[in-house]
């Protein structure tokens, strides 16, 4: 069973060594690694080239490719039937590829999903990880739409569903997942196939990421009701509640506090899992 690891990159010189150093430590090395570079202006390709004598690495340069196009170009070039996909901004657990692909010895298994943990260095990153990234306990495997940070499928599946949507710059993995589920059923969930993902490290980066994801969802018509509820809450309900608490009845503050605590209950639970080594002051800041 041959396996190809597919990665897309763009200006990842600062991070890419972490990913490829973790590839070298895999308990099961891929038979092929195909990286599609979308026209990096830094020395990403130069750094990648240094791994060519240690790994079965091919680098394809496709200027201007979005993530979908980059993945499709790399998968098309793959000789292996099993395609494993990850992103440049992650670090792989040593047994990630082995755990992710073991199930393919069963010919009935067509697609599998791994998972990811947060790899936070700063207080802000820990807060972001608790707020926006789920824990394994949050996942309902039958409804799980995996991130392409940790996913694998047969090349025939990719071909049958038409590949990743080239017309979509963001949320492309959700559309791809949905098409696979539509034709092949739910992903086989493998929680032990773990990658470590670092959340955005500044508010500016976070808002840009959120905007990109929201625009991708809008372009693809994804999660419309969820986004409408979120925007209604942030832009209308909260301002009206604050105004009412100030001008009508101060007890509304109490109702708002109860509603707010209910809303952030899951992030607080996640934070408790992430901060066990943090000092008290940092815990308070995260909350």
Task: Please identify, among 197, 212, 241, the residue that sits at the C-terminal boundary of a domain.
Answer: 197
Compare 221 and 115 and report the one with higher pLDDT. 115
Whether 90 is covered by a domain: the verdict is yes
182 and 280 share a domain?
Answer: no
With 70 as the cut, is the pLDDT of residue 6 above it? yes
Instruction: Evaluate whether residue 216 is within a structural domain.
Output: no
Q: Do residue 41 and residue 141 come from a single domain? A: yes
245 backbone φψ class: left, alpha, beta (φ>0; ψ -120 to 50) = alpha
Same domain, 17 and 119: yes
CATH number assigned to the domain comprising residue 60: 3.90.550.10
Query: Residue 154 CB: number of other CB atoms within 10 A?
Result: 19
Domain boundary residue, one of 134, 162, 197: 197
Q: Is residue 174 part of a domain?
A: yes
pLDDT in tens, 173-197: 889 999 999 999 999 999 999 998 8
Query: In this structure, are 240 and 191 located in the same domain?
Result: no
**What's the domain count of the chain?**
2
What's the domain range around 138? 3-197
List the Cα angle 194/181/196 in 5-degree steps: 15
Would 210 be classed as within a structural domain?
Answer: no
- pLDDT at position 220: 47
In a domain, 276, yes or no: yes
In this prediction, what percent of the chain has a pLDDT beyond 90?
52
> Does a structural domain hold residue 155?
yes
172 in any annotated domain: yes
Whether residue 84 lies inside any domain: the answer is yes
pTM: 0.75
**Residues in CB range of 259: below 8 A, 6 or more apart:** none
């Amino acid at each position: 069973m041959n396996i190809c690891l597919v990665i897309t990159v763009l200006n990842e010189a600062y991070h890419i060594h972490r990913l490829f150093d973790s590839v070298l430590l895999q308990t099961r090395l891929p038979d092929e690694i195909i990286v599609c570079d979308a026209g990096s202006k830094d020395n990403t390709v130069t750094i990648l080239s240094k791994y060519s004598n240690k790994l079965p690495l091919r680098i394809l340069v496709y200027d201007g490719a979005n993530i979908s196009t980059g993945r499709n170009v790399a998968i098309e070039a793959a000789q292996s039937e099993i395609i494993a996909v990850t992103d440049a901004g992650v670090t792989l657990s040593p047994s990630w590829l082995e755990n992710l692909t073991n199930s393919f010895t069963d010919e009935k298994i067509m697609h599998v999903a791994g998972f990811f943990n947060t790899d936070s260095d700063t207080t802000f990153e820990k807060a972001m990880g608790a707020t926006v990234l789920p824990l394994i306990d949050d996942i309902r495997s039958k409804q799980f739409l995996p991130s392409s940070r940790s996913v694998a499928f047969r090349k025939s599946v990719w071909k049958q569903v038409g590949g990743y949507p080239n017309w979509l710059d963001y949320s492309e993995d959700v559309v791809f997942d949905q098409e696979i589920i539509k034709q092949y059923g739910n992903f086989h969930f493998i929680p032990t196939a773990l990658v470590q993902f670092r959340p955005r490290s500044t508010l500016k980066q976070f808002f840009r990421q959120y905007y990109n994801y929201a625009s991708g969802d809008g372009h693809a018509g994804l999660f419309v009701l969820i986004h409408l509820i979120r925007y209604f809450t942030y832009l209308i309900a909260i301002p009206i509640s604050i105004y009412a608490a100030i001008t009508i009845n101060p007890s509304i503050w109490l109702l708002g506090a109860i509603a707010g605590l209910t809303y952030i209950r899951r992030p607080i639970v996640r934070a408790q899992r992430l901060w066990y080594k943090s000092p008290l002051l940092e815990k308070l800041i995260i909350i």
